[in-house]
Amino acid sequence: MDRRSFLRTSALGGTAAAATGLAAPAIAQGTRTLTLVTSVPDGFAVFDDAAVKFVELVNAMADGEIVIEKKAAGQLVGAFEVFDAVSSGQADMYHSADYYFGGQHPGYYYFTAVPFGATGGEMISWYQHGGGKELHDELGQIFGLKSFLCGNTGHQPGGWFRKEINSAADLQGLKFRMPGIGGLALGRTGASVQNVPGGEIYQALASGAIDGAEWIGPFADERLGFQEVCEFYYTGGFHEPGSALACAVNRDVFESLTPSQQKIIETAAMATHHWSLSQSDANNGAALERLRQSGVKIMEFPDDVWDAFGKASKEALDEFMGDELFARIRASFEASVASTYDWTSISDGVFQRQRARVNAG
């Protein structure tokens, strides 16, 4: 029995129990209703905003042929259970960050972010023009999914801390929320890494269950109120320089759609990706200034902390090189990022430095 058949016929433990209320796609009076499950509560800036935008676009373009109903984390399945629910056919589609599912296959880490990886622009360049899209599809086939990038948070800061980080030694024993390979790398520096769902981060910080956390960026972080419970905000992060979000459709469901309906989903996902990245870039500067005015201390990690992050990140990535598909994804990703940077570093990079200098004069 192949992986796809197995997932349809086997029990999913807690996921199955949580998803028993999910029905097969409904078709009535020419309208097909598809259920989309997400990994965050309703109203989360950037993350949920992208899911809402995707649903709006599909529903508008489908002109009544398809209606997507969005269910937030916990309404039908838990935040980290959406992958299994869609892979097994118990839900039609999910919107999430694919690095949550690195335990299913480590290749998924690359379709959100990896440490010292791609900026938002570099990410979409790889995905659209460097083979990333095809590799995402190959990975999805293993699990009965048709996957698309569907949002991008831009650069994610180093995070919120209760105390100042003066050296790499300050990471020892630090209870810190960070998912993905970034979390695996941070664990190698001596920190105690926690994978807390987005909807639970504030309470974990407020209660002292964790000493710090990273989330998305000033705009999203401000809305969640992290400035109320943490004093130090490190704006430069190593772990997610351009974090993509993803939409995945159960492959049987996707293949049952008409070619035009399939293209609507693909087009809406890509439009959402661009809209989401611009949303973050448009709002983070003003939000950061409000955080600064509220008394938050805006910080930068010292060089020895960056060095520790770099060493740990390489070790964490190398750990998965025994997997042939992971190795191919990594090689494709790194080649594309290097090629893109060869140009942008001497074009955009030079221009931005000179623009700042001239405008300051």
Q: Which tens digit of pLDDT belongs to each residue from 42-55?
A: 999 999 999 999 99
DSSP string, 194-234: E---GGGHHHHHHHTS-SEE--S-HHHHHHHTGGGT-SEEE
Q: Decide if 88 contacts 8 (C-beta within 8 A).
A: yes
Residue pLDDT, tens place only, 270-325: 999 999 999 999 999 999 999 999 999 999 999 999 999 999 999 999 999 999 99
Q: What is the pLDDT of residue 29?
A: 53
Q: What is the pLDDT of residues 148-171, one digit of tens each?
A: 999 999 999 999 999 999 999 999
Tell me, what amino acid is at 19?
A
Look at the domain 3-153+242-281 and name its fold. D-Maltodextrin-Binding Protein; domain 2 (3.40.190)
Terminal CA-CA length for the chain: 69
In whole angstroms, what is the distance from residue 96 CA to residue 247 CA? 7
Copy the structure tokens of residue 349.
């990079």
The pTM score is 0.89
